[in-house]
Amino acid sequence: MIVEPKFRGFICTTSHPTGCKKNVENQIEYVKENGKIEGAKRVLVLGASTGYGLASAIVASEACDAEVLGVSFEREAKGKRTASAGWYNIESLKKFAEGEGKKFISVNGDAFSNEVKSEVIDLIKENMGKVDLVIYSLAAPKRKDPVSGEVYSSCLKTVGAPFTSKTLDFHTGEIQDITINPATEEEIEGTRKVMGGEDWMLWIEALKEANVLEKGVKTIAYSYIGPEVTYPIYREGTIGRAKNDLEKTAGEITKVLKSLDGEGYISVNKALVTQASSAIPIVSLYISILYKVMKEKGTHEGCIEQIYRMFKELYEGKLNLDSENRIRIDDLEMAEDVQKAIEEIWPQITSENVFELSDAEDIKKEFFKLFGFGLEGVDYSKDVDITTV
């Protein structure tokens, strides 16, 4: 069938298999051009199908020549309904890796569940022995507590007071005022349960108990801080509370891994166009200005550039750590000259000048690419088999 983009709000409900494959291929090409990294050899990536998790799986496989086990929860094609972009991404990466004679195992299931943890541990024992790197990059709207069975939901709200600011609808290019209401205590706790460090710790404890962690193992979870203009909705909001919990967990994990000389790290990454960030009010406008400023300065990076740089710094002993022991690969975003330029543009931006003062047009293209649309070298008028890549 011929596949075209269809939308429901900020969600694209269709994905293009050939386009997703091309997207993965482009990231692999970047890694090949930049060379090998002497690093991890057996890697578990939790949340391996999109964004930073996908980039981590690609860098591990292609730069480190590592054996990779990727866990994701994606939708296969059914009838005339395409698979999710993540499903096509992971299938593409698996094909590329296997074509090069590399081991790439994928598990499609709920990483929050005990069943998937057990399945992954069995697969590590059978196929890899032990892992020396665990990447934690899960993003989900809900999580079922494996002990109580209670289902928790995350939400995107402020804490304490409502917040009004500008946001961008990149589909239309309109700048609108938006007010975000404060969360209840229950919503704050629900977001922490879904997006905080609890499940990361459960994974590390389960892997350690099963004796599938290598001596000197490292584990990394991804976070974001950003500038003050985004604080009320992000860092000081419900998501920020969850990220604080995630960051606190890194230190606790280092203690758990002490007997293995292991370490738990948080990597604070750059703001990027992802399926998650596109839905965050205010942040979408900030990203569109950020992209323009960083491209003009020649410092812009996407997921693959960020993660390749992080792996290189991690394994070449040149980590840029802050006072709280967090890896900072958001350093180019948070550079004083970049943030000063954004601060100058922010109050001036309107629907009339948004395409001139920001990268709104490219942001839209980047968003489409997440779902396999708008990539060079793909014939979108062609019939495609939506059940495979």
Query: Is 243 annotated to bind ligand?
Result: yes
Query: Is 125 annotated to bind ligand?
Result: no
Diameter of the chain measured on Cα atoms: 59
177: Cα separation from own chain's centroid: 27
C-alpha torsion sign, points 315, 320, 322, 327? negative
Query: Is 371 annotated to bind ligand?
Result: no
Query: Is 50 annotated to bind ligand?
Result: yes
Residue 265: its H or E element: strand 263-268
Name the catalytic one among 136, 152, 222, 234: 234
Q: Is 234 one of the annotated active-site residues of the chain? A: yes
Query: Is 387 annotated to bind ligand?
Result: no
Which residues face 180 on adjacent strands?
Answer: 163
What is the secondary structure of 335-353 as a DSSP string? Answer: -HHHHHHHHHHGGG--TTT
Query: Is 74 annotated to bind ligand?
Result: yes
Query: Is 110 annotated to bind ligand?
Result: yes
Compute CA distances 154 → 3, 11, 219, 228, whole Å: 31, 17, 24, 22
Query: Pick from 76, 74, 47, 48: which is nearest to 61 by CA?
Result: 48
137/59 Cα distance (integer angstroms): 14
Query: Is 272 annotated to bind ligand?
Result: yes
Query: Is 51 annotated to bind ligand?
Result: yes
Which residues face 67 on adjacent strands?
Answer: 42
Say whether 140 sits in a helix, a strand or coil.
coil
Binding residue numbers for substrate = 224
Binding residue numbers = 47-52, 73-74, 110-111, 138-139, 224, 243, 272-274
Binding residue numbers for NAD(+) = 47-52, 73-74, 110-111, 138-139, 243, 272-274
Q: Which residues are catalytic?
A: 234
